[in-house]
């Protein structure tokens, strides 16, 4: 099936972005919207978009050439000689009529088709998902799923909503969505985030950010780390 035959938005199932279909651990996300799945695939070279049956739908696989089409010589048709066409004189149009025509064209433009970009609410906290989670359009388990985020995904929180986190979400049409976090079951949250740089270790980070190296255990627990090992570029929640 060509990718053109796949719907732009699914009502059941997901478009899944993985490197290999059989390797679930390589999954980068699951989406209802095909455009979002393709965008995620473009951000991660080597990944592909699969349908629910494991078929690759993006990027399209190259179709092997059999050579049958090339072996059959196609006839070349003689092109008729082009006849010189005498250019017709252009009818003069009064200047005031030209201006009226331009005004009419401009009047047909609907400014409502070009909504103004609005700034999203400020980030008040950060969250790190403890497990694979559905990201929903509304704070309800019956709401539409706009994306699926994998474990350890960092999200920007803009509001705490009675057991839900309202987050910034690039996959949502309005840029915001919700993830369940009743009793802090599904996400670690903190007001600050730290990016690891070369030469860092947990003790130094705790000393620099919290004023006490002994609090490295707090950072480890908050980020779900099983050891003191960290890597450059890792983003850590700071309690």
pLDDT in tens, 119-144: 889 999 999 999 999 999 999 999 99
pLDDT in tens, 19-42: 999 988 889 999 999 999 999 999
Question: With bands split at pLDDT 50, 70 and 90, how would you rate the model's confidence at 99?
Answer: low
Q: Is residue 46 part of a domain?
A: yes
- Pick the range with the lowest mean pLDDT from 18-32, 84-98, 155-169: 84-98
- Residues 196, 186 share a domain: no
Q: Is residue 64 part of a domain?
A: no
- Pick the range with the lowest mean pLDDT from 106-110, 130-134, 155-159: 106-110
pLDDT at residue 203 is higher than 90: yes
- Residues 176, 200 share a domain: no
pLDDT at 119: 86
DSSP output for 18-63: ESSTT-GGG--EEESBHHHHHHHHHHSTT-EEE-TTS-EEESPPPP
pLDDT at residue 205 is higher than 70: yes
Question: With bands split at pLDDT 50, 70 and 90, how would you rate the model's confidence at 6?
Answer: confident
- Residue 180: CB partners within 8 Å, gap ≥ 6? 133, 134, 136, 141, 163, 164, 186
Question: With bands split at pLDDT 50, 70 and 90, how would you rate the model's confidence at 76?
Answer: very low
- Residues 150, 173 share a domain: yes
40-61: average pLDDT: 88
Q: Is residue 47 part of a domain?
A: yes
- Burial pattern 220-234, b for ≥16 Cβ within 10 A else e, equals bebbebeeeebeeee
- Residues 215, 184 share a domain: no
pLDDT at residue 179 is higher than 80: yes
Q: Is residue 131 part of a domain?
A: yes
- Residues 206, 186 share a domain: no
| Measured distance CA(28)–CA(10) in Å, rounded | 18
The total domain count for the chain is 3
pLDDT at residue 109 is higher than 70: no
Q: Is residue 152 part of a domain?
A: yes
Read off the CATH number of the domain in which 158 is found: 2.30.30.40
| Measured distance CA(78)–CA(217) in Å, rounded | 82
Position with higher pLDDT, 233 vs 101? 233
Read off the CATH number of the domain in which 222 is found: 3.10.350.10
Residue numbers of the domain that contains 166: 125-190
SS3 219: helix
- Residues 20, 54 share a domain: yes
pLDDT at 230: 94
Last residue of a domain, one of 58, 77, 105: 58
- Residues 180, 198 share a domain: no
């Amino acid at each position: 099936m060509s990718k053109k035959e796949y719907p732009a938005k699914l009502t059941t199932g997901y478009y899944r972005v993985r490197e290999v279909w059989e390797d679930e651990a390589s999954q980068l996300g699951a989406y209802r919207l095909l455009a979002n799945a393709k965008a995620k695939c473009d951000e991660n070279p080597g990944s592909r978009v699969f349908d629910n049956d494991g078929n690759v739908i993006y990027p399209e696989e190259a179709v092997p050439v059999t050579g049958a089409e090339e072996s059959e010589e196609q006839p070349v048709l003689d092109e008729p000689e082009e006849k010189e066409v005498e250019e017709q004189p252009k009818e003069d149009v009064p200047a005031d009529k030209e201006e009226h025509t331009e005004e009419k064209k401009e009047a047909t433009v609907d400014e409502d088709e070009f909504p103004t970009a609005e700034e999203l609410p400020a980030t008040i906290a950060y969250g790190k998902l403890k497990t694979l989670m559905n990201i929903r359009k509304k704070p309800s388990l019956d709401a539409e799923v706009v994306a699926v985020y994998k474990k350890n995904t960092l999200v920007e929180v803009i509001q705490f909503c009675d057991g839900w986190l309202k987050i910034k979400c690039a996959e949502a049409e309005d840029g915001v969505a919700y993830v369940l976090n009743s009793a802090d079951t599904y996400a670690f949250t903190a007001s600050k985030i730290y990016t690891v740089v070369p030469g860092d270790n947990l003790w130094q980070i705790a000393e620099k950010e919290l004023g006490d190296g002994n609090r490295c255990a707090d950072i480890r627990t908050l980020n779900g780390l099983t050891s003191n090992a960290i890597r450059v570029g890792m983003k850590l929640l700071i309690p």
